[in-house]
Amino acid sequence: MFKYLLYIVIMSSQLLGASILQAAMPIPKPPSTGAKSYIILDYESGNTLAEENADIAVEPASITKLMTAYVIFNELQSGNIALNDIVTISEKAWRTPGSRMFVEVGKQVPVESLLQGMIVQSGNDATVALAEYVAGSEDSFAALMNKHAEAIGLSGSHFMNSTGLPDENHYMTARDIAKLSALLIKKFPEYYKWYSQKEYTFNDITQQNRNRLLWQDESVDGLKTGHTDAAGYCLVTSAKKDDMRLITVVLGTGSDNARIDASQALLNYGFRFFETHKLYDAGTQLTTSRIWKGSSETISLGLDKALYVTIPRGQYNSLDASMNINHRIMAPVTKGQALGTVQVKLGEQVVANQPLVSLQTIGEGSFWQRIMDEGLLYFE
């Protein structure tokens, strides 16, 4: 087992801080929402700022369409389908109850139009048409949804259809929804723009986005509403102020006004009492270390993804970081291989922990280099 050497790094140039804790801004308890469950997630750091019953499985109603979109966006990205593909509307899609885009049976509609009908108008008819086009049937598409959910770690979710129409075996958790929302934004920025679209016209019928926060709060640029009698009124919101993006999930409120008010209150709370900072970029050398029996005597270490922290407002200058580097790093080493950790603390609280990785590949050294290092290691 590797031993570890501890390197304390006072954030002088990188965190611009001192090691003495400032007086923290008092943070009150989160606002009351009246929801069955909710969560506030910081998009960049992945930190949860507040939650209640976030791991309770509930009916998600049309929030389901975020998972439907995730599957379809993956199909677009992989080249299996294209935005200008033409979809013939089946009778099943046409007859699907609930919110509608008003497509007509037998008509041919481009994938791009159906996606906007699903995202902006929450059209169940458009959603089923897309599911059938991608997987042949809605049942097969639901199986595909479950495979994707498993692959991305949505352990509290299970899907029986593409729309979110009620089914006792169809459920999600607030935490899963927040995680899925962050993945949608990060992985598919070219399609995310549709979630801020306020209205869409198809077949001479104009319908507005049901997310009224798009009109109420200019920082809001998504994401999705949902409602059935069983699920109540649900809303997933994403909002960005300066360099901080928050995702809120509110499930099971009693009215449209209630889900709007609860979501707005949670956003206000998150932005008012917390701040997010990028401490290090991906690929930036943070330190070097000795490597033994390699083609080089030193190895560059850094991060494979940017490191963000979300902390109480006014505490940035109180952050400290440390690096734990594996003792006796031996060649060969591949680029991206974990060789330690970077830990960031605020007082005694750990606010970030990320692998410290090799920024280069280093192969074995020559025979003589290996022999020399073997001798040096004897006295090390």
Active-site residue 90, yes or no? no
Q: What is the pLDDT of residue 82?
A: 97
Any domain includes 30: no
Any domain includes 261: no
Point out the catalytic residue in the list 36, 37, 45, 62.
62
**What ranges in 218-308 are assigned the alpha helix state H?**
256-273
Point out the catalytic residue in the list 45, 122, 162, 181.
122
22-36, 48-62, 187-201, 252-266 — which is least confidently predicted?
Answer: 22-36
Q: Using one digit for the tens of pLDDT, what is the confidence trace for 318-367?
A: 999 999 998 888 889 999 999 999 999 998 899 999 999 999 999 887 77
Same domain, 119 and 236: yes
Same domain, 48 and 159: yes
Same domain, 216 and 303: no
Any domain includes 271: no
Same domain, 15 and 41: no
Any domain includes 201: yes
Same domain, 71 and 162: yes
Any domain includes 28: no
pLDDT above 80: residue 314? yes
Q: Which two tokens stand for residue 375?
A: 């001798």
Same domain, 204 and 103: yes
Q: What is the mean pLDDT of residues 139-159?
A: 97
DSSP-assigned letters across all residues of 187-205: H-HHHHGGGG--EEEETTE
Q: 289 near 325, Cβ under 8 Å?
A: yes
Q: Using one digit for the tens of pLDDT, what is the confidence trace for 230-279?
A: 999 999 999 999 999 999 999 999 999 999 999 999 999 999 999 999 99
Q: What is the pLDDT of residue 9?
A: 37
Q: What is the pLDDT of residue 330?
A: 86
Same domain, 240 and 321: no
Point out the catalytic residue in the list 36, 37, 65, 90.
65
Give the integer Cα–Cα distance in Å for 234 and 228. 9
Q: Report the CATH number that the domain containing residue 100 is assigned in CATH.
A: 3.40.710.10
Active-site residue 238, yes or no? no
Tell me what percent of the residues of the chain surpass a pLDDT of 70. 91
Task: Establish whether the linkage from the previous residue to 110 is cis, with ω within 30° of 0.
Answer: no
Any domain includes 122: yes
Q: 340 near 355, Cβ under 8 Å?
A: yes
Question: What is the domain range of residue 359?
Answer: 4-21+279-379
Same domain, 149 and 247: yes
Same domain, 226 and 316: no
Q: Report the CATH number that the domain containing residue 308 is assigned in CATH.
A: 2.60.410.10
- Return mean pLDDT, the chain: 90
Q: Using one digit for the tens of pLDDT, what is the confidence trace for 13-38?
A: 344 333 334 456 678 999 999 999 99
Same domain, 194 and 301: no
CA atoms within 13 A on the CB side of 16: 7
Residue pointed to by tokens 């960005």: 240
Residue 77: φ, ψ to 5° = -65, -35
Any domain includes 302: yes
Same domain, 141 and 245: yes
Active-site residue 181, yes or no? no
Q: Strands 329-330 and 287-292: what pairing?
A: parallel
Q: What is the mean pLDDT of residues 47-64?
A: 96
Same domain, 244 and 313: no
Domain count, the chain: 2
Which residue, 227, 237, 246, 164, is CA-closest to 196? 237
Task: Answer with the residue of higher pLDDT: 52 or 3.
Answer: 52
